Chains A and B, each alone.
Chain A
Amino acid sequence: MKRNAQISSEFVLFIPKIIFLVAVIFAFVLLVKTLLVSHVDVRDIESSVLLNRMLFSPALLIYQDPISGRYYPGVIDLGKFTSYAKTNPNVLDSELLSYGAENPIIAVQMILKQSNNPDVVVYYNKEKFDKWEPRALSTIKGGTGSVKSFKERKYVAVYDGASFSPALLDFYIIT
C-alpha cells in the first residue's frame, strides 16, 4: 500500500473515534448542566417593581404640586398621562426610563379608565409590546413560553388640575 493511501485509510478509521469522543463530551456537559441551577427567574418581582414604580416614582406618572413641590404617590397627573398618550408613544422609554438601547426585558400597556371620560392608553416600550403581545396569548400555537404576561388593576386617584377623582389603572405587563 502506498504511503498516502495508508495515511488516509488510518485517518478514516480515526473519524469514528472523534465522533464518539464528541458525543461523550456533549453527554457529560449536558448531564452536569441539567444538574446545575444557574437561572434565576425574576420576572414576577420585576413586573411588580415596575408597576409600583409607575405609581410612586416622582419621575413618571404621579402628580407634583407646583407650589410646594410635593409629590403625591399613587395620584396620577392626568395632564402628564394624557400628554404621554397623545405625543410620541415611545416618550417614556426615550426620555424618562431606559432599560438599555434594545430593552429586551419588559414592556407595559397602561389603560386609565375614568367614568364619563374615554380611556387613555399609555405604553412603555411599545415596539416590544406589539411584538410580544401575540406570544403572550395562550390560544396561539407556540405562543406562550419565551414571554410571560401579568395583568393587574389598581384603584388610583386622578388629578386633572382642578380636582381629584377616582379611576382605574389597568396594567398589562409582558416580560
Chain B
Amino acid sequence: MTVRKRGLFLGKKAFSHDLFFDIFELFLVVVIVLALANFIADVADQTLFEKNYLARDVSILIDAIYAAPGDVAYLYDEKTTAYQFNIAKSKVTVNKDKEQATPNAIYYLFGEEIKKPINVLNTNALQENQKLYFLKDQSGIKVSTLEASQYKKSP
C-alpha cells in the first residue's frame, strides 16, 4: 500500500478532505471564542449579581410593606438605573434595559395579598433620575416611579 503524502497542494482528494476539516476546525474555534467572549462580557458586566440582589430586595420590601399595619410611603433609594422591574402575579422580574430576552431576566417571588393585589403603574426601564416608589393605603399597594425633582422635595 502506498502512503499518500498529505498537503495542501498534493492531490485533489486529500486537499478537499483536509480543507474540509480545517474549515470545520476554524468554524468551531470561532463559535467557541464568540461564546466565551459573550460569557466573559456578561460576567464583567456583573449584572447577574445586581439583578439577583434587586429582585430579592424588592420582593422582601413588598412583603414588609404588606406586613405594615398602617399606611406606608416608601422610596426605593437604590441604584436602579437602566433596570426594568416587572412586578406582577407574586413575582418581581428584573431585566437590564434593552434586554428583552427572558433567559437573562432574574425573578423572585413575594407574598401577594389575594384580595388586594399589587397595582403597578409604570416601571419601565428606570432613567438616571428615577426611583421606584411604593405607596400603601387601605386599597392596597401601588408601585410607580418618581422623578428626582419629586422625591427631593420631601423631607
- The contact of B17 among A10, A28, A71, A103, by CB within 8 Å, is A10
Q: Which of A21, A52, A57 has the most CB of B within 10 A?
A: A57
Contacting pair B90 A49 (CB below 8 A): no
- The contact of A57 among B28, B39, B49, B67, by CB within 8 Å, is B67
Contacting pair A46 B63 (CB below 8 A): yes
Interface residues on A, range: 35 or more
Secondary structure call for the B interface:
helix
- Closest Cβ of chain B to A75, distance in Å, is 11
- Listed in ascending order, the chain A residues whose CB lies under 8 Å from chain B are 1, 3, 6-7, 10, 14, 17-18, 21, 25, 28-29, 32, 36-40, 42, 45-46, 49-50, 52-53, 56-59, 62, 71, 73, 94-100, 103-106
**Given A21-B28, A49-B64, A59-B116, 9 new contacts (CB under 8 A):** A6-B17, A18-B28, A46-B60, A53-B63, A59-B66, A97-B113, A100-B90, A103-B109, A104-B109
- Listed in ascending order, the chain B residues whose CB lies under 8 Å from chain A are 1, 4, 13-14, 17, 21, 25, 28, 32, 36, 39-40, 43, 48-49, 52-53, 56, 60, 63-64, 66-69, 89-91, 109-116
